[in-house]
Amino acid sequence: MGIVSPGFFGRRRSDDPALPPGQYRTEDFPVLSAGPTPRISPDEWEFTITTETGQVHRWSWTEFLALKQDDVSTDIHCVTSWSKLGTSWRGVSLDTLFESVESECEFTMAHSYGGYTTNVPLDDLLGGKAWIAHQFDGETLEPAHGGPARLLVPHLYFWKSAKWVRGLELLRQDEPGFWESNGYHMYGDPWREERYW
Amino acid sequence: MRTGWNVAEVIGVTQETTTARTLRLRLPGLTGHRAGQHVDIRLTAPDGYTAVRSYSVASARPGEEIDLTVEELTDGEVSPYLVHQVAAGDQLEVRGPVGGWFVWDPADPSPVQLIAGGSGVVPLMAMLRAHAVADPASAGGSAPFRLLYSVRGPAAVYYRAELDELARSPLVDVTLVYTREAPAGSPSPARRLDAATLTARALPAADNPAVFICGATAFVETVADWLVQAGHSPERIKTERYGGMGAKP
């Protein structure tokens, strides 16, 4: 046990077994981003997956919405210690988007409008673990929370769930993205408290 | 970067306002930090229960000492303890300072525009202080700095005397915008920061300043949008939101 602070009792919100170590529960949906919020209209939006051979798979907004849609209920965990339990999203599973993609790569880099990047192993995007989400709580996803669409990889710290996502690049070797180059962990498992490196 | 937990000693406390206090901590082995970084503080209750929150460093000194200014949040779990109960001589567990993005680089000759909403002034104060102690002949030390500080009223202002002192430098400009209550004798009434005031008092986009904005989410979102509309490049604007750094610290 660490240094005990006499007289500190706390709120005990972290007794919940759904909370990873060092997290507390919030009912709000705090916003964290490194710069101004990009405003992207669905008309100009597109999503791409680029393989190691340079092949580009591309979806317009209309094509994206025509794909099979999943409703997802999940907990999300921010590295700044808040967790929000039982959030509701609607979007397209990465399994659906990768159906026609052929690649030998094990790593990906997510790229966002505005220049944000984050690295996620391909295994963490497949198998019903990740989506491109465009609705939150039954409403259109607001720009501040990543709209028109964001990556949703809820089993990793939430900075991996890139807002304003515009594509995934398949990589032969793991490379750090934006926060990973600024002191944050390459993988980011909240249950192992992989916050900083 | 220090990413493990270390024990810090509280070596001084200063009341900034009725709801905010500055804690001076000594972190053995620390050799300075970058202006704008934060630390995580972990409190442990006698039965082992712990709570962690992040706080920006306000100081910019080279050695083992850092200052944190903590605002008490009404529904807070950690901040009331830090504002009311911690005393000099106590020990706290600290991780960091960490963060490599929302930091001022003293080697960058760019003019700097700082924009604070309320307690968001804390990491920006670290940048002003780092600028003040930088060699005046160096790239960063000779750069113009402006602070636009939006605050409820005179009683809520942090670091008042020091800001007045810093503003005597020909390189430094400090503008306070009072949103709820103006000081006695003030020529203008209290009002929210608007795009016109921002444009009039901030460094122009043509100067291509490095911009740092820190405050509550709504404040940061609004100000960043105004700056982009006024021609500032989004790549030059760095933001940090207290709504995210701990909605209820």
Poorest-confidence range of A13-17, A192-196, B126-130?
Answer: A13-17
Sketch the domain layout of chain B as residue ranges: 5-98, 112-245
List the single residue in B86, B224, B243 with the smallest CB-CB distance to A37: B224
Interface ipTM above 0.90: no
Cα–Cα–Cα angle for B222, A113, A140, rounded to 5 degrees: 65
Per-residue pLDDT of chain B (249 residues; tens, 9 = 90+): 567 899 999 999 999 999 999 999 999 999 999 999 999 999 999 988 888 899 999 999 999 999 999 999 888 889 999 999 999 999 999 999 998 899 999 999 999 999 999 999 999 999 999 999 999 999 999 999 999 999 999 999 999 999 999 999 999 999 999 999 999 888 888 999 999 999 999 999 999 999 999 999 889 999 999 999 999 999 999 999 875 433 222
Residue B186 near residue B157 (C-beta atoms within 8 A): no
More confidently predicted of A30 and B230: B230
Cis peptide before B97 (omega within 30 of 0): yes
Sketch the domain layout of chain A as residue ranges: 21-27+45-192
Sorted by sequence, the CB contacts under 8 Å of residue B104 that are 6+ apart come out as B34, B35, B36, B112, B126, B127, B130, B131, B140, B210, B212
How many of the other CB atoms lie within 10 Å of CB of A104?
9
* Spatial separation of the C-alpha atoms in residues A164 and A116, rounded to whole Å: 9
pLDDT given for residue B76 in this prediction? 86
Q: E strands along chain B, which residues?
A: 5-17, 20-26, 38-44, 50-56, 65-71, 91-98, 112-117, 145-151, 172-178, 210-215, 237-241
Q: Decide if B1 and A183 are in contact by the 8 Å CB cutoff.
A: yes
CATH of span B5-98: 2.40.30.10
Q: Which fold has domain A21-27+45-192?
A: Sulfite Oxidase; Chain A, domain 2 (3.90.420)
Amino acid letter, residue A87: T
B4: phi then psi, degrees, rounded to nearest 5: -95, 175
List the single residue in A14, A28, A34 with the smallest CB-CB distance to B239: A34
* Spatial separation of the C-alpha atoms in residues A13 and A27, rounded to whole Å: 11
Interface of B with A in 45-64 (CB under 8 A): 45-46, 48-54
CATH of span B112-245: 3.40.50.80
Residues in A closer than 8 angstroms to B3, CB to CB, are 183, 195-197
